[in-house]
């Protein structure tokens, strides 16, 4: 790595540094391999409307199965993919695959709900990102409302001026935005007015013990109230128990997502969810 050699020459030669560098290089190569060998998959997790218990959306989550190592969790490789820049290609693959899958469900005559895709803040640093998304949607003949983009608070706060232009461009064409892991970022709330946000996703760290810790219960209720006041949808992440769901129902939360309903599953397992919903709609 010539670049790190220039900046950190004396550190570069320490044994510890080179072990880390070697491991990183191996992982970086493995990510390139993964893209060209098709080792990535998208899994999908249902989002449920609390009052009706009906499916209202899906979140696409990347999965990587390395031929020798096995499953590598996204939190292990996404940060490195961001550091090395390969996240642009991975992120593009994720968007393309999510749209392709939507198209396939649509072609199969299944009920279609919006699919949420997680974005790396770096993807929004490409000026042509809105055009990329638009080309993708029109290429798949998908209504833009069927694609939702998830961003973290920290991501939108990075470059507020540019970000609001970018999001507005996408919003004008109908794309929806959610703030992921809401409540854990380090940011002011003012951006909620400046950005065209549609949905807040309450971080799972608050939901985990929402029925046991009064402070987390209070934060959860406050986020729900904030969302209502700003006319945003609000979805709780990491719902694992009936008690948590009851709490959310009493608190007036719109949506819930978590192992209580389903783990993230491959696309073919989602077809069952979609056809059940289709049947419900047909009867109306």
Binding site for ligand C2E (CB under 6 A): 45, 61-62, 73-75, 78, 91, 94, 118-120, 150, 180-181, 204, 237-240, 258-259, 264
Smallest separation, CB 202 to ligand C2E (Å): 11
Q: Which two tokens stand for residue 242?
A: 């009936």
- Here's the x/- map for Mg ion, 157-186, by CB under 5 A: it reads as -----------------------xx-----
For residue 220, the partner it binds in ligand C2E, Mg ion, none, with Cβ less than 5 to 8 A by kind, is none
- Torsion, Cα of 32, 35, 39, 45 (10° steps): 120
User: Which helix or strand (DSSP H or E) is residue 254 part of?
Assistant: none
Strand runs (DSSP E) across 144-215, as ranges? 147-152, 176-182, 199-202
Q: Which is nearer to Mg ion, 17 or 92 (CB)?
A: 92
Residue 166 and residue 195: Cα distance in Å, rounded?
Answer: 10
Number of chain positions touching Mg ion (CB under 5 A): 5
Cα separation values, 267 from 71, 95, 102, 104, 271, Å: 17, 15, 10, 10, 7
Residue 142 and residue 138: Cα distance in Å, rounded?
Answer: 6
Smallest separation, CB 271 to ligand C2E (Å): 19
Smallest separation, CB 253 to ligand C2E (Å): 15
> What's the burial of 45, exposed, middle or buried (CB within 10 Å: 0-12/13-18/19+)?
buried
Range in contact with Mg ion (rule: CB under 5 A) among 98-106, 148-156, 158-166, 239-247: 148-156
For residue 75, the partner it binds in ligand C2E, Mg ion, none, with Cβ less than 5 to 8 A by kind, is ligand C2E
Contacts to Mg ion by CB under 5 A: 118, 150, 180-181, 237
């Amino acid at each position: 790595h010539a670049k790190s050699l220039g900046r950190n020459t004396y550190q570069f030669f320490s044994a510890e540094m080179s072990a880390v560098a070697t491991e990183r290089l191996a992982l970086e190569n493995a990510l390139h391999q993964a893209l060209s060998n098709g080792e990535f998959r998208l899994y999908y997790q249902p989002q449920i409307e609390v009052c009706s218990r009906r499916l209202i959306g899906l979140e696409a989550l990347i999965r990587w199965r390395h031929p020798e190592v096995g499953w590598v969790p996204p939190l292990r490789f996404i940060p490195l993919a961001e550091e090395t820049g390969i996240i642009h290609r991975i992120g593009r693959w994720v968007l393309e695959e999510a749209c392709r899958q939507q198209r396939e469900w649509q072609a199969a005559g299944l009920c279609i709900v919006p699919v949420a895709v997680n974005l790396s803040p770096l993807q929004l640093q490409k000026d042509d990102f809105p055009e990329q998304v638009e080309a993708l949607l029109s290429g798949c003949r998908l209504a833009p409302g069927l694609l939702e983009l998830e961003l973290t608070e920290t991501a939108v706060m990075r470059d507020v001026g540019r970000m609001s232009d970018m999001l507005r461009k996408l919003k004008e064409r109908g794309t929806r935005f959610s703030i992921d892991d809401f409540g854990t970022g380090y940011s002011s709330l003012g951006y909620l007015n400046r950005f065209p946000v549609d949905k807040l996703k309450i971080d799972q760290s608050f939901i985990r013990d929402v029925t046991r810790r009064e402070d987390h219960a209070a934060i959860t209720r406050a986020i729900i109230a904030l969302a209502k006041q700003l006319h945003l949808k609000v979805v709780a992440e990491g719902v694992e128990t009936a008690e948590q769901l009851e709490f959310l129902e009493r608190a007036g939360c719109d949506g819930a997502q978590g192992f209580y309903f389903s783990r993230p599953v491959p696309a073919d397992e989602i077809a069952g969810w979609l056809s059940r919903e289709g049947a419900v709609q047909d009867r109306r």
